[in-house]
Amino acid sequence: MKIKLTVVVVIVASLLFACGSKKESEPPKSCLESIPEAISGLKISGARPEKNVIANLWPTICRARELYAQRMKENPKLGKGMIELKITVDFNGEIEAYSIARSTLDDPAFDQKVLRVFEFMDFDPYGPHNAETQILLPIRFKP
């Protein structure tokens, strides 16, 4: 458990140097620092290691959290909650399937906005030919 947390912290620290954004809703440093908490419960099965998955997902997670900040302005009663996404990634980095497995937010329009963020996302190629990775990604949101 400590090793996984250490790996996540190292990844987040390295990403702090690599990211840059002009968005005002949540600075990248703040988003990256909170990723371990935001994705607590991440489950991965298949060829890709956790480090690879997080490195590919962090921009999308930060974008989903920006959408949440915008939605909170429109719907202050949204409150905290979680959207859990089920993602299948092929060895070549293409997302073969993605869907919302569960949402504790009572806002289907927001759920669909988060889902659309994954529409054009790709991962880096990884693993042997025909190796798929199944990801269960919880993204936690709080005001």
Residue 57 in any domain: the answer is: yes
Residue 7 in any domain: the answer is: no
Domain total of the chain: 1
Residue 68 in any domain: the answer is: yes
Interval 58-94: pLDDT, tens: 999 999 999 999 999 998 888 899 999 999 999 999 9
Residue 70 in any domain: the answer is: yes
Residue 67 CB-half CA count within 13 A: 20
39 closest CA partner among 6, 70, 85:
85
Neighbours of 141 (CB within 10 A): 22
In the chain, the amino acid numbered 111 is D
Range of the domain at 131: 43-141
* DSSP H helices in the chain: 2-18, 28-38, 50-74, 108-117
The CATH number assigned to the domain holding 134 equals: 3.30.2420.10
Interval 25-64: pLDDT, tens: 444 667 777 788 888 899 999 999 999 999 999 999 999 9
Residue 90 in any domain: the answer is: yes
Residue 103 in any domain: the answer is: yes
What is the value of pTM for the model shown?
0.75
Residue 9 in any domain: the answer is: no
Residue 88 in any domain: the answer is: yes
